[in-house]
Structure 1
Amino acid sequence: MGFFRKKSNSKMHSNSISTSQMMKTNLANELKTNLQENLQRIKDSLGKSSDIIIREIRVGKVETIKAGIIYTDGLTDTTALQNFILETLMLDVEGTELQEKLSPEQDLISILKDFAMTVGEIKELTNFEDLLTGLLSGDTIILIDGYAQGLIVSNRHWVERGVTEAAAQVIVRGPREGFSENLRVNTALVRRRLKDPNLWMESKIIGKRTKTNVAMMYIKGIANDKIVKEVRLRLDRIDIDGILESGNIEELIRDEPYSPFPTILNTERSDVVAAELLEGKIAIFVDGTPFVLIVPAIFIQFFQSSEDYYQSADIASLIRLLRYFAFAIAMLAPALFIAVTTFNHSMLPPSLLISLAAQREGAPFPAFVEAIIMEVTFEILREAGLRMPRSIGSAMSIVGAFVIGTAAVEAGIISAAMVIVVSITAISSFVSPTYNLAISGRILRFGFMAMAASFGLLGITIGLIALLLHLCSLRSFGVPYMSSLAPFNLSDQKDAFIRLPMWKMFTRPRLINQQNIVRQQDSASAKPEPPKNKESEGG
C-alpha cells in the first residue's frame, strides 16, 4: 500500500509540475502592456528578418497615443495599408475624441475596432502565437502602448496565378475553369456553382511550421454524417511540421497506404467538385495547390470524366467502355503476348505463329526480357518528356520512341511484334482520365509480365484473381472500393460501365449517400418528348 501511495503521490506531483509549466508557458506567450517589449520580442522571434516591416506611429493628430504597425512585405496589400489603416489612425482619428469615448466598459482597442477602422475583417489578439501566425499569413498587426491586446487586420495580398484552364484534365466540351493555388479563389469557384445555403465549409490549420489552411466542404443533408465525422477525425489527427501540397494530406488520411490503387480522387476542375458534392461526397481544399481531394472514392469513379455528362448518353457510354478496354490493354497486353509466345502456342493461328517465330529467330533474348527492356525504355522516355520544356518534350518522346524502336528491330535485339505490343500498351495507358489510375496500371503491368513468363496464361489468371480479391478488400472512408459492383447494386448501374440519360439518373449512389437518395422527384416527366399534335388527336 505504501508503494502505491508513493506512486500516486509522484503522479500528483508530476501533474502539478506539468500544470504549472503550462501556466508559465501561457503567461510567457501573452502580450505585454509595454509596446517596446512586444516589438522587441517580435524582432527576436523572427530573427530581425528584412521582410518584416515594423513602424511606430502615434494615433490621432494630437499624437498622445503610441502604436506599432507590423506587416510582412510581399504578403500584405500596402495600398490598403496606406489608405485604410495608416491614414485612418494618423489623420482621420482625433486623439481628443478617442479620450472622450473611452469608458471603463470600453477600451481603446474596441474603439478602434468598432468605430475607427474602415476595413473588412478585424480580430483581437492577446498572445504571440496568434500574432506571428497572422503576421506571416499577410495580415497587418496593430499594437497599442499600454494595452496587452492587439488587432489583426486582414489585408492579405500577393502575386498569384489566376483562374486558367485545367492542365492535367483536358476535355473537349465543358467549362474551362481550373483551380488556382489560392484556397479562397477555389472555394469561390465552387460557391458560384452551388448557391445552396446547405453547402457548409469547415476550416483547419494543419502543420506546426507551415500552418497551412485546409478546408473541408460538403452539402449538409446530402453528405453522410458518419463519413463527414470520419474525415474530420482524420484531419484532426494529423500532427506534422508542414503540409506543402494536397498529396501530403492524401497520404496521411488514405485507407490503404500500400495499395497501388488510389482511394482518394484528386481534381483541378471546379465542375467535378460541384458534381461530386451533389452526390454526397466531401471535398478537401488545401491552400497552395490547385488539386482538390474528393472522398470517398470508388474504382469506377476513376473511369468517369466530367465530359461524359456534357455529351449525349450513347456517346459517353461508348467512350467510357473504351476507357475500360484501354485500361485492360495497358495492364495485360505485354503479359498476354509473353504467355502466348512462350507457353500457349496453340492459341495462335499457324500462320501468325510461323511469322512470330521467324521474327524471333535471331532475337538474343526471351520475350520477357524483350518486354522489360522496351517497357523500361518507354517509361524513361515518358518521364523525360514530362520533365523537359513543353516545346521540345513531346517531340523528343515521339522521335525518341520511333528512333529507338526502329534501331532495336534493325539491330536484331527486339522483335517487331514486341515493339507493336509495347506501343499499343503505351498509347492505351494515356486513355485513362485520371493520372493516378494510369500509374496503377503501369505498376501492375510488370507483375503480370512476371506471372506470364513463369506460368503462362495460368499465371495471368492467378494474378487477376488476386487483383480482384485485393480490390474487393479495399475501402475508402468506410465505403467499399468496388461498389456498386461488389456489393452489387442494380440501381447504381446507371452510371457504372455505361451512362444512362440524365432523365433516368434520378437517384444518388446508395452506399455513399443514405439519407437523401432522390435526385429528381419524377423521372418520367423529365423525359424529353416532342409536342403532341392536338389537331390529330381531335380528328
Structure 2
Amino acid sequence: MIRKKTRKRWVHNKLLKEIELTNSLSSNVQNVDLNPELAINEKVLREIFKDCSDAIFRSIAICSDIKLMLIYIDGLSDTKTLDEVVLKPMMFDGLPDALGNLPRVEQIIEQHLVAIAQVQNVSKIADVVNGVLKGEVALLVDGVSKSLVADLKGFEKRSIEEPAAESTIRGPRDGFTEVLRINTSLVRRRVRSAKLKMEAITVGQVSQTDIVIAYIDGIAPDTILEEVRKRIQRIQIDGVMESNYIEEFIEDFTWSPFPQIQNSERPDVICSSLLEGKVAIFIDNTPFVLVVPMTFWSGLQAADDYYERSLYTTFIRIIRYSLFNIALLFPSLYVAIITFHPQLVPTTLLISIAASREGVPFPTIVETALMEFMFEGLREAGIRLPKSIGSAVSIVGALVIGQAAVQAGIVSAPVVIVVATTGIASFAVPRYNLGTSYRFLRFPMLILAGVLGIYGVVVGVFFIIIHLLKLRSFGVPYLSPVAPLIFKDLKDVFIRVPRWGMTHRPAFISGANKKRALEGQQPTPTRGRQDK
C-alpha cells in the first residue's frame, strides 16, 4: 500500500515538473497523457487552472463505485443543458441494464449516458484544456486514461443584424457576428455544395484563435490557396483579437497606402467572392471576413451593384468613379490652378475668387490644408463620439467652423466649398479602407500642387499609377484586368453587363472551372399566341 501511494506521488510530481518546463500553456501540456488515476488528473488540471475562479470542477459518482469529474468554464458552457442532459441521467438513472458488448466504462458513458451530438474521446491533457477553454465540458472517469469532451458551448452572442457599414437598398439583411460557426453557417446556407471546403487552423499561442480558410474546390486556384495556407501557418503571435492581426501578417506590401486584402461583414459578398475563385478567411471573435486576392476595382464595387439592373449599375459606377477622382484631385487641382495657373480660370470666376480671398492672411495651400485637417478631425470625432450625438456634432461643427472661419477672414469661401465637395466625394467609396488610402494621399498631392503647380499633380498621379502597376495581392496584379489587359473580363469593371453576359469567371483569379453560366441565355421576348 505504501509503495503504491509513493508511486502515485512520484507520477504526480513528474507530471507537474513536465508542466513547469516552459512558460506557455499549450507547450506545457502538449505531450502529457492523461493518467488512469482520476486524482492525479484532477491535481494536474487544478494546477493548470490555478487562480481561475471561473473554472468549475464537479465530482459525481455513479452507482457509488464509479467516480467521475466534470470540468468546464462558467459562462462559456450551457449549464442548463449540462444539468438536464449529463448530470441528471448519471446521478439518478445510473448504468443501464443489458449493456450488451460494451464492457468499457467510457463507452457506456459516451453511448448511453451522454445525449450530446458532438462528443470527442481525447487522451492528452492539452486536448482537455483546449476543449474546456473553448466552452466544452470535459468528463474524466476514474480508472480510464481518456476523457470525453462534449460540445456544450453556451456563451452570450450578438444576434444576426444588417452591417451598418455595408447597408444596401436591395439585398439580404443579415450580417456576420463574432461567433465563427455562425458565420460559416451563413455561407453554407447560400452555397449548398460539398465543394465548399473549410479548413481549420489555430493561431495564437495564448489566445488559441480558430481560423477557417474557405474556398470552393475546383474554382479557387491551387496556387493562391497554397499561398494562403503558407502565410497563415507561419504566423507566430501570442494572440489574435481581430482580423487585422492576420491581415498585416499576410499582405504583400505593408507600406502601401492601398489595401491588398478585402474585408466584409456581408455573407452574400463573401459567397460571390468564393464563386469567383477567391479565398475567404474567417477569424473567430470578429464579424469581418478577409477575402484574397483583392483588386483595385473590387474595392470600388458595392453589393447593390449586383442587385439592381445593369443599366442602373453602370450609371452609378460612372458617378462613383468620378467622385473617387474628385476626392483625390480636387483640392490639389484648386491649389495648383489658383497659385500657378490662374489663366486657366474664366475671368469672371477668377475675379470672384480673388474678391473672396481678399484679407485672407494665408496662401491657398495653407488654408486648404488647414480646412482639410479640420474636416478630417471632425470626421474622426463623429466616429468616436456616441452615435446619438456623433453625427450632430460633426455636421454642426462643420457648419459652425466653416462659417466662422470665412467671417473671420482665416479662409476663403471657395476653399470651404472645395473641402466640403471633396469630403462628400470621399463618402461615395464603398470600401472604407480604400477611401482611407485616398484621404491619406490627398495631403502629399496638396504639397506637390503647392510647390510645383499642375506639374506636381501630374507627377503625383504618375507615381500613384506606377505604384498600382507594381502592386500585387497574392501574386495577382492589383489593376487586373485593366493592366494587364484582359478584354473579356472588362464586363464587370467600368460597366456591368447583364447576368446573361457574364458567362465566365475572372481569368486572373479562377482555377480550372472558369464557366459561370451557359451562353445564349439572352432574353428573346416573343408575342403570345392564343391557341385555337
In structure 2, the residue matched to 1:426 is 423
Q: Considering only aligned residues, what root-mean-square deviation do their CA atoms show, in Å? A: 1.9
Matched AA of 1:478: G
Q: Give the deviation of 1:517 after TM superposition.
A: 1.4
Contact conserved, 2:221 with 2:510, CA < 8 A, in 1?
yes
The answer to whether the Cα contact below 8 Å between 1:31 and 1:127 also exists between their aligned partners in 2 is yes
Instruction: Give, in angstroms, the shift of residue 110 of structure 1.
Output: 2.8
Cα deviation digits, residues 303-332 of structure 1 (max 9, x gap): 111111111111101111111111111111
The residue number in structure 1 matching 2:64 is 63
The correspondence for 2:51, drawn from 48, 65, 68, is 48
Superimposed CA distance per residue, residues 488-518 of structure 1 (whole angstroms, 9 cap, x where no aligned partner): 0100110001111111111110000141111
Q: Distance in 2 between matches of 1:375 and 1:504?
A: 43
Task: State the partner residue of 2:299.
Answer: 302
Q: Distance in 2 between matches of 1:343 and 1:256?
A: 36
Q: Which amino acid aligns with 2:256?
A: S
Q: Return the match for 2:476 from 465, 475, 479.
A: 479
Q: Distance in 2 between matches of 1:503 and 1:419?
A: 46
Residue 97 of structure 1 deviates from its aligned partner by 6.4
Q: Compute the displacement of 1:534 (Å).
A: 5.3
Query: Mean alpha-carbon deviation: is it higher for 155-164 or for 37-46?
Result: 37-46
Contact preservation (8 Å) 2:137, 2:149: yes
Displacement, 1:79?
1.4
Counterparts in 2 of 1:250 and 1:95: CA distance versus 1, 3 Å? same
Task: Give the Cα–Cα distance (whole angstroms) in 2 for the partners of residues 217 and 25 of structure 1.
Answer: 31
Equivalence for 1:4:
none
Q: In the aligned structure 2, how far is the partner of 1:182 from the partner of 1:273?
A: 16
Alignment of 1:162-181 (within 5 A): 162-181=159-178
CA distance in 2, matches of 1:25, 1:495: 53
In structure 2, the residue matched to 1:120 is: 117
The answer to whether structure 1 residue 530 and structure 2 residue 525 are counterparts is yes
| Structure 1 counterpart of 2:11 | none
Residue 171 of structure 2 corresponds to residue 204 of structure 1: no
Partner of 2:329: 332
Matching of residue 509 in structure 1 with residue 510 in structure 2: no
Partner of 1:142: 139
* AA at the equivalent of 1:506: T
Secondary structure (helix, strand or coil) at the match of 1:375 reads: helix
Counterparts of residues 18-57 of structure 1 (less than 5 Å): 29-57=32-60
Whether the 8 Å contact between 2:472 and 2:478 is mirrored in structure 1 is yes
* Cα shift at 1:114: 3.1
For 2:363 and 2:344, the matched residues in 1 are separated by 19
Distance 1:28 1:230, change over 3 A: closer
What is the CA–CA distance in structure 2 between the aligned matches of 1:533 and 1:139, rounded to whole Å?
63
- Indicate yes or no: 2:310 matched with 1:313: yes
TM-score, scaled to structure 2: 0.92
Distance 2:466 2:300 in 1: 20
The runs of at least 4 aligned residues of structure 1 exceeding 3 Å deviation read 24-28, 95-98, 100-103, 532-536
Whether the 8 Å contact between 1:65 and 1:95 is mirrored in structure 2 is no
* Structure 2 SS opposite 1:299: coil
Give how far 1:28 is off. 6.8
After superposition, residues 219-230 of structure 1 pair within 5 angstroms as 219-230=216-227
**Conserved 8 A contact 1:409-1:416:** yes
Contact 1:101/1:111 (8 A) holds in 2: no
SS at structure 2 position matched to 1:274: helix
The alpha-carbon deviation at position 111 of structure 1 amounts to 2.9
Mapped to 1, the partners of 2:379 and 2:29 lie a distance apart of: 55
Which position in structure 1 is the counterpart of 2:252? Answer: 255
Superposed displacement of residue 51, structure 1: 1.0
CA distance in structure 2 between the partners assigned to 1:469 and 1:146 by the alignment = 69
CA pair 26-138 structure 1, distance change in 2 beyond 3 A: closer
What residue in structure 2 maps to residue 292 of structure 1?
Answer: 289
In the alignment, residue 244 of structure 2 is paired with which amino acid?
A: G
Q: Shift in Å at residue 175 of structure 1?
A: 0.8
The structure-2 alpha-carbon separation of the partners of 1:47 and 1:27, relative to structure 1 and needing over 3 Å to count, comes to: closer
The answer to whether structure 1 residue 456 and structure 2 residue 453 are counterparts is: yes
Counterpart position of 1:8: none
Structure 1 215/462 Cα, relative in aligned 2: closer, same or farther at 3 Å?
same
- CA, structure 1 residues 381+27, in 2 after alignment: closer, same or farther (shift >3 Å)? closer
**Residue-by-residue CA offset, 1:125-144 (whole Å, 9 max, x unaligned):** 22221111111110001111
For 1:258 and 1:321, how far apart are their aligned partners in 2? 30
Match in the other structure for 2:486: 489
Confirm or deny: 8 A CA contact 2:218 2:511 kept in the other structure.
no
Secondary structure in structure 2 of the residue aligned to 1:240: coil
Aligned counterparts of 1:364 and 1:44: Cα–Cα separation in 2: 71
Give the aligned residue type for 1:210. Answer: S
Secondary structure at the aligned position of 1:42 is classed as helix
Letter of the 1:486 partner, please give it: A
Identity %: 44
Distance 1:243 1:354, change over 3 A: same
Give the CA deviation at 1:55.
0.8
Structure 1: gaps of 5 or more residues: 1-20
2:222 and 2:511 in contact (8 A); partners too: no
> Contact 1:263/1:297 (CA < 8 Å) preserved in 2?
yes
CA 462–25 in structure 1, closer or farther in 2 if over 3 Å, else same: closer
Query: Counterpart in 2 of 1:185?
Result: 182
Deviations 1:441-498 (A, max 9, x none): 1000001001001101101111111100100101111111100000001001100011
Give the C-alpha shift of residue 93 in structure 1. 3.0
- Post-superposition offset of 1:89: 2.1
